[in-house]
Structure 1
Amino acid sequence: MTPFFGEFIGTGLLITFGQGVVANVVLPRTKGQNSGWIVISFGWAIAVFVGVYCSAGSSKAHLNPAVTLAFAALGKFPWAQVPQYIAAQLLGAMAGSSLAYLSYRGHFQEPGDPNGKLAVFCTAPAIRHTLDNFVTEVIGTFVLILGVLYIASPSSSLGALDALPVALLVLGIGLSLGGPTGYAINPARDLGPRIMHTLLPIAGKRDSDWAYAWIPIAGPVVGALLAAMVFKML
């Protein structure tokens, strides 16, 4: 695969699995209804593992504009390729979101909480407070990117399991830091599905909460650049 399609397919798989596990937990009449936050966190970790594993050979598996920007800021990735990567990540997220929607289309047609249906696609804070929510996303992404920067140059290899450390890192972030905002920590992961929530014919849906949408974009970008600065200093 070319790097563009590597990022597209990897991000698409990431969102298909990640959005799928949220749908399984929050939508009515699913087999996994109400199975809880731990299931969601593990589902997203597996989503990251699959996405990274499938795309690492072709694109180095950024799958996240925050990762791409951090590598570019450190001179580890050419700025000229940044727009291509971010476009692939956003389009992949939209495609993966559509696949997850189609898998649960019948459940979306059931009467249910409009906020829950929105939560399948994108993040929202448990307590809405602009500064707190922004800081939470900055911290979560800072931890992610700092970990990724060290994982990207390991002293030893796990072979086919080299994607596992990143998945475990995301699992830890979800379990430890994900409660306040739902841990977007990836602008494409939030923006692509939010666009699809706006476009898809979902029964009884609410608005897509675009007033909040800038936080899971700006927070991860700031967190990523701060992590790059700290990594360079260290």
Structure 2
Amino acid sequence: MANTEDTQLLSADRPGSYLNGDSIQSHSGSKSKMSEGWFTHVDKFLDNLRLRNELVRQFFAELLGTFMLVLIGDGAIAQMQFFGGTALGAGFLNVNIGYAFGLMLGVYFTASVSGGHLNPAVSLAFCTLGKLRWIAFPVYMLAQFIGAFLAAVMVFAVYYDAIDKHDHNRTVVGGTAGIFATYPKAELSWGVGFVDQLLGTALLMAGIMAVTDNKNSKPPNGLEPIFVALTFFAVGISFGYNFGYGINPARDFGPRVFTAIAGYGSDVWTLNGIQWWIIPTFVPFLGAPVGAWVYYLAIGMHCESPHRGQGDHAELLEAQAPDAAEKSM
């Protein structure tokens, strides 16, 4: 009887199991022992697959989350281009929605493991705030670049026939390279491009800080990724014209490397003789810390801590739990 009860309890914890109370009771005690033993072996096997090193777990989480972000975002750009959407019409709105949903899913996938940064500029900003160890920063950044690169490979594979039909020569200006990386409008100057990426990334990071600040009016637990995605969407629909969706070095540089390999030529680096790739690759590393510290100095440090009176008020960002504060792109 004890064996039967133990096995029933085991099956109850396994959704979708073929075992149920009636079938177990009809089996002999030896059969129940056999089933329980099989599950024990499966549990041991799965436990052996579990990654023990925290940085390794975070690496794969950031890789997967960034892959999800860029896969859905670049896929939305490809659909817009091949369906004939215009940059100022419904097609561009679809791209903004696609990237917002990609970010939301990516953060939900990874938040409990790595915080769901999905953006090396965001990771750097959290390092400057003391919310991420500096030793983890290169791990996060490498994972994010690899995830974005692999996503570009998948989008290229899925849309290969369409790309070959519409842009057989693999062009940059007016071609399909814009599916994978950002390229400036013809009239854009270097200075305006710098300000564009600085402001966009700062706004994104400030929004992330507000959404995840326990001392402020943050959304209910579990809804933070939705509001982070809405912040991302707001930046895109306001400042997406000049450079498209930059504000993320991994999202831009990883796919840009892939396009260089895939036959788009040197123009992916030196469009019209100008090294435009430098702006979306490096400026966000300045913009995100600026946005984070502007929020903290203007708002965050002045909010009353929920732990006030318990001796913790002097701690800078104690109210922002690491697993919540790092839920961002």
Find the counterpart in structure 1 of residue 199 from structure 2. Answer: 139
Cα separation, 2, equivalents of 1:33 and 1:52: 30
Q: How many residues align?
A: 228
Contact 1:74-1:232 at 8 Å conserved across structures: no
Find the counterpart in structure 1 of residue 233 from structure 2. Answer: 171
Whether 1:183 and 2:183 are equivalent positions in the alignment is: no
**Offset at 1:60?**
0.5
Unaligned residue ranges in structure 1 (runs of 5+): none
Find the counterpart in structure 2 of residue 23 from structure 1. Answer: 78
Q: Secondary structure at the match of 2:130?
A: coil
Amino acid at match of 1:149: M
Any runs of at least 4 consecutive aligned residues in structure 1 with deviations exceeding 2 A, and if so which? 111-116, 152-162
Whether 1:227 and 2:291 are equivalent positions in the alignment is: yes
Cα separation, 2, equivalents of 1:217 and 1:201: 21
Unaligned residue ranges in structure 2 (runs of 5+): 1-50, 52-56, 299-329
The Cα offsets for residues 68-92 of structure 1, whole Å up to 9 and x where unpaired, read as: 0100001111111100000000001
Find the counterpart in structure 2 of residue 63 from structure 1. Answer: 118
Contact 2:212-2:224 at 8 Å conserved across structures: no
Q: Which moved more, 1:153-162 or 1:85-94?
A: 153-162
TM-score, with structure 1 as normaliser: 0.91
TM-score, with structure 2 as normaliser: 0.66
Q: Secondary structure at the match of 1:228?
A: helix
Larger radius of gyration: 2
Contact 1:137-1:183 at 8 Å conserved across structures: no
Cα separation, 2, equivalents of 1:68 and 1:96: 20
| Identical-pair percentage | 32
Amino acid at match of 1:189: R
Find the counterpart in structure 2 of residue 73 from structure 1. Answer: 128
Cα separation, 2, equivalents of 1:84 and 1:3: 8
Cα separation, 2, equivalents of 1:172 and 1:165: 10
Cα separation, 1, equivalents of 2:266 and 2:159: 18
Which of 33, 36, 40 pairs up with 2:84? 33
Find the counterpart in structure 1 of residue 319 from structure 2. Answer: none
**Offset at 1:225?**
1.9
Cα separation, 1, equivalents of 2:239 and 2:208: 17
Amino acid at match of 2:61: G
Find the counterpart in structure 1 of residue 277 from structure 2. Answer: 213
Matches within 5 A, 1:7-156: 7-27=62-82, 32-34=83-85, 35-112=90-167, 114=171, 115=173, 116-126=175-185, 127-154=187-214, 155-156=217-218
Cα separation, 2, equivalents of 1:186 and 1:156: 24
